[in-house]
Structure 1
Amino acid sequence: MENQQAIFFQTIKAALPEYQNMALSIAEELGISTNEAYKKIRGDSNLTLQQIIKLSDSFNVPFVYSPKQSLSVTFNYLSVNEDLNMVNYLKDLLDNLQTIKNSKQKHITITTDDIPVFHFFKYPELTSFKLFFWANSVNNFEVPFNSTFLSDEIIEISKTLHATYLEIPSTEIWSKDTITGTLEQIRYAFEAGHLNDTELAVKIVEQVKYCLTDMNMYAIGSKKTIDPNHTFNWYNCDVLGSIAYLVDFKDRMACYNRFNTFNYLRTEDQSYCLQTRKWMQGLIMKSVSFSGQGEKHRNKYLYSAFSECDKLLQEIGQAQG
């Protein structure tokens, strides 16, 4: 219990803003003295089950317990119902991202064969299409897509998600086909008649190109904003195997594995996260760097990606003619 309690408090500490005193916050939430709060933080006094639940709810951090010799891993996930409430989905995503951003030390490593969604969120039409495609992956395209698919609220949340991600140091490992998934979704929707507005289809493809241009700028400076703390490292690896997000804090890690097209499983099981980190580090060793001085390889990759975009634009233009 002592070890799990120490890890629990480390998790809480990592989630708090720098200006917030943990002992005072614990004392306030549990209705105890600051002295007693310090005893619990040091492990001199055990938390009760009710106190664990209260702290977990208050600071939005899990208390993870795994029996000795257990090989099981506990995951949490956002349950999206049949009507796919995108507002709740994006709000949950934003809560997770803002918790990461507000942590004292943080870094996200992403392995992906699809462009990370946070880059899409800068562009309303591309965001609308991507979420439309996800939603209809289970509803089998009941209605055609148009630019009014998403509400103003969702667009605003998406823009906040994009801005928040830019402020978190990150490493992205893309496969050689990372651009292909989104382009194939656009091609399928257009050819099947789910995206029947030609001008809108062209605009969506153009916004994919804008995303790639953004990536190029981030890679050139090895940062996502003018703030040097918002570092960015970009790699290309031919074979990845899965889409995973690893959040590395000073004292703990959290792992997110994507499933069912758009959803994710989340765990803070440190053994699992450590294995994931070692796997990602191995991928980086086998990857080509696109950041900083990796101009030659980056330009070759982007040239191929832009060519794929232009090919799709040509197909759309020929269909219109």
Structure 2
Amino acid sequence: MQQTFIQHLKNQLPEDRSIIDEIADILNINYDAAYRRVNNKTNLSLEEAVILAKHFKISLNKLFEVGSQQTLIAEKSPKIVNTAGLEGYFKASLQNLAPLTKMKSASITYSAKDIPLFYTLTDSFLTRYKIYVWLKFLNEDGSMAKTTFEDFIKHIPTSLLESAFALGETYNYISITEFWNDNTINGTLQQILYYFETGLLSKELALNICKDLSYIVDHVERQTINQTIINSKNNAAYKLYKSDLLTMSNTIMVKTNHQKVFFTPFTVLTYFKIQHGQTCEEMDRFFQKQMLNSKLLVNAGERDRSLFFNKMHQKIKSVIERINADNDSIVF
């Protein structure tokens, strides 16, 4: 494994440069020590291999691709436990996403088990409610245990909202393909009912959130028909597939002409970032196959498309009726 890795490093250098001198310089060791590592007489430590990989801008997975093909290195997004952590998450996501808005080849594929994040990052009651739900679940000191949504929105930091809105706006400039099914909306509806029934969400605010959710369904339907991202200044493309065969996962794949990377859920809002080349290709092929086994709604015909979106509106209506009457069970 070490010999193959060293050979990979050699291939990165011009012919007139010595790999031994290069390694000695990078690792700050003498020539003899570098010679022993290059000739496999001394094992590279993990720390040394990481230093070399960073210097040569090689994915750390390269350290394993020459060995077990089943071994991956994943980067985990930071843990979120409070408003500062959530704001940092939004800002870091924006920083990572912003370069994609300037690349015509950039695209996102989203397996939507729940309504995709970027629809819930606008100036709306739904956005504030999602932030409330996330923080109640992620908070570890119990300080939000009895906090009502009404109290929460009175004190929500302006900077937190601004960072959320900025991230949501960024998605308007990237071409997006989404997979939805009849259950994609269920998680948000269940969250509305849960906190309404526990008394932490008032009737008035619950109805406002449902109104925002209905707007998102209309928004997605318009994008589906037009095949473009609404409010996009660069005519970013939009495709929506109805996938009845497979359960969605909230996995997100980002592709450019130069790279593929995907993010798979770990906990609430946290993801594992996978850059391993072969694995990313496998995920891309999986999504391509899923497209073949799904229905592209712009081509499905007005009847099928209307049935799909009307079913979501009916679910929202059912929740509204439950909130107004506070009786009768709801079946999704």
TM tier, smaller: 0.7 to 0.9
Equivalent residue, structure 2, for 1:17: none
Matches within 5 A, 1:197-208: 197-208=202-213
Find the partner of 2:292 among 282, 285, 290: 285
Separation of aligned partners in 1, 2:171 and 2:7? 32
Q: TM-score, normalised by structure 2?
A: 0.76
Describe the shift of the 1:189–1:272 C-alpha distance in structure 2 as closer, same or farther (beyond 3 A). same
Task: Give matches, 1:244-263, under 5 Å.
Answer: 244-263=251-270
Aligned counterpart in structure 2 of residue 298 of structure 1, from 305, 308, 324: 305
Once the two structures are superposed, residues 231-254 of structure 1 have per-residue CA deviations (whole angstroms, 9 ceiling, x without a partner) of 000011122252210111112200
Question: Match of 1:177?
Answer: 183
Deviation, structure 1 residue 158: 1.7
Q: Distance in 2 between matches of 1:310 and 1:262?
A: 28
- Residues 110 and 173, structure 1, Cα contact 8 Å, conserved in 2: yes
Gaps in structure 1 of 5+ consecutive residues: 8-38
Q: What are the within-5 Å matches in structure 2 for residues 1-321 of structure 1?
A: 48=26, 53=54, 64-67=61-64, 68-70=66-68, 71-83=70-82, 85-139=85-139, 142=145, 143-146=147-150, 147-148=153-154, 150-195=156-201, 197-225=202-230, 227=233, 229-238=235-244, 239-291=246-298, 294-319=301-326
How far apart are the structure 1 equivalents of 2:54 and 2:213?
43
Q: Deviations over 1:102-133 (max 9, x none)?
A: 34521111112100010111243211111211
Letter in 2 for 1:220: I
Provide the alpha-carbon RMSD of the alignment.
Answer: 3.0
CA distance in 2, matches of 1:187, 1:80: 27
- Count the aligned residue pairs: 283
Assess if the C-alpha contact under 8 Å between 1:77 and 1:264 holds in 2: yes
| CA deviation profile, 1:223-275 (whole Å, cap 9, x unmatched) | 00455640000011122252210111112200001221221111111111111
- For the structure 1 residues 228 and 99, does the alpha-carbon distance in structure 2 shift closer, same or farther, using more than 3 Å as the test? closer
Q: Which amino acid aligns with 1:210?
A: Y
Q: Is the 8 A contact 2:227 2:238 kept in 1?
A: yes
What secondary structure, in the 3-state scheme, does the structure 2 residue paired with 1:95 have?
A: helix
Would the aligned equivalents of 1:234 and 1:289 in 2 still touch at CA under 8 Å? yes
Q: Is the 8 A contact 2:242 2:295 kept in 1?
A: yes
Q: CA deviation at 1:310?
A: 1.1
The question of whether the paired residues in 1 share the 8 Å contact of 2:9 and 2:56 is answered with: no
Relative to structure 1, the CA distance from residue 95 to residue 305 in structure 2 (aligned partners, 3 Å threshold; closer, same or farther) is same
TM-superposed CA distance for 1:63, in Å, is 5.3
Deviation at 1:96, TM superposition (A): 2.0
**Aligned AA (2:225):** I
Contact 2:179 2:243 in 1 (8 A): yes
Q: Write the deviation string for residues 68-87 of structure 1: whole angstroms up to 9, x where unpaired.
A: 13211111122225336211
List 4+ stretches of structure 1 deviating above 6 A: 2-7
8 Å CA contact retained: 2:227, 2:237 = yes
What TM-score do you get using the length of structure 1 for normalisation? 0.78
> The residue matched to 1:291 in structure 2 has which SS?
helix
Task: Please tell me whether the aligned partners of residues 124 and 212 of structure 2 are also in contact (alpha carbons under 8 angstroms).
Answer: no
Aligned to 2:91, what secondary structure does the other structure show? Answer: helix
Alpha-carbon offset, residue 101 of structure 1: 2.3
Alignment partners' CA distance in 1, 2:222 and 2:214: 13
Counterpart of 2:170 in 1: which secondary structure?
helix
Find the residue that maps to 2:265 and give its secondary structure.
Answer: strand
What residue number does 2:32 align with?
none
Per-residue deviation, 1:144? 1.7
Percent of residue pairs bearing the same amino acid type: 22
Is the alpha carbon distance of 1:222 and 1:314 closer, same or farther for their aligned partners in structure 2, counting shifts above 3 Å?
Answer: same
Decide whether the 8 Å contact of 1:112 with 1:173 is kept in 2.
Answer: yes
Letter in 2 for 1:184: Q
**Residues 43, 174 of structure 1: CA spacing in aligned structure 2 closer, same or farther, 3 A cutoff?**
farther
Amino acid in the other structure paired with 1:284: M
Could you tell me which runs of 5 or more consecutive residues in structure 2 were left unpaired when the two chains were aligned. 28-50, 328-332
